[in-house]
Amino acid sequence: MYSNRQHRKEGFTLVEILLALCILVIGLVGVLAIFPVGINSSRSAVEQNRAALLAESVKDSLVHGFRTTPPLNTKVSFSPGGNSNKVTFSLPASGTVVDLPQDLDAQLPTQNRPVFLADFDPQYSFRVQIEKDNSSSLVDNLYQVHVHVYRNYVPQDWNRNLDQDANHTGERGSGRVPVRLISSYKTLVTSK
């Protein structure tokens, strides 16, 4: 009897290698697709953290201004953004809103500036709105403070209406940088 045995050399065929490479590439692409999502999440967390720190600093400065104001005085001074330049504003009457820095044109070196620039990072800016709160019948001197924190707001954008167009795109250099309202923070403050 004649035995026809094929002798096969040990190893992988070209088809097996290509199939293994395809599986490896698909796995690597899946893993690499996660990196941009992680980077964007990290960037957003840093922005939110800086915005919260800035809003907390502004709130603390306003609280200090409210607490150091003499009783029955309607003028409050505070240092926006931690800088040493103090600004003074009148407390709003019921039904009106003080919009800072818009309502401080006479005190600021640049007229009609809609935002304060943060000292720690020029890419961050903020504005403050203060309104008399009438929700409590027990406390007469309660004010609601609303801090809006923006990113990439440059002087060329100062003529924009922030209430209507908070997420517009403004010019900076040769590229277009989006101006974003990162966050808004509200708190209640009492005066003396």
- Spatial separation of the C-alpha atoms in residues 82 and 53, rounded to whole Å: 11
Percent of the chain at pLDDT > 70 equals: 74
Query: What pLDDT, on the 0 to 100 scale, is given for residue 155?
Result: 62
Model confidence pLDDT, tens digit, residues 104-150: 755 555 555 678 888 777 788 888 899 988 887 787 788 899 998 88
**Exposure on the CB side of residue 21, measured as CA atoms within 13 A:** 7
Among candidates 64, 67, 46, which has minimal Cα distance to 56?
64
Residue showing tokens 């027990």: 138
- What are the sequence ranges of the domains in the chain? 14-190
Average pLDDT of the residues in 14-43: 93
* CA 29/CA 33 separation, integer angstroms: 6
Rounded CA separation 99/166 (Å) = 15
- Res. 11: pLDDT tops 50: yes
Q: Which pLDDT does position 124 carry in this prediction? A: 86
At residue 171 the predicted structure's pLDDT band, cuts being 50, 70 and 90, is very low
80-113 residue pLDDT tens: 765 567 888 888 888 888 888 877 755 555 555 6
Contacts of 24 (CB under 8 A, 6+ apart): none
How confident is the model over 6-21, as a mean pLDDT? 84
Least confident of 15-19, 46-50, 72-76, 131-135: 72-76
pLDDT at residue 177 is higher than 70: no
> What values do phi and psi take at 89, rounded to 5?
-135, 160
**pLDDT value at 30 more than 80:** yes
What does DSSP assign to residue 174? T
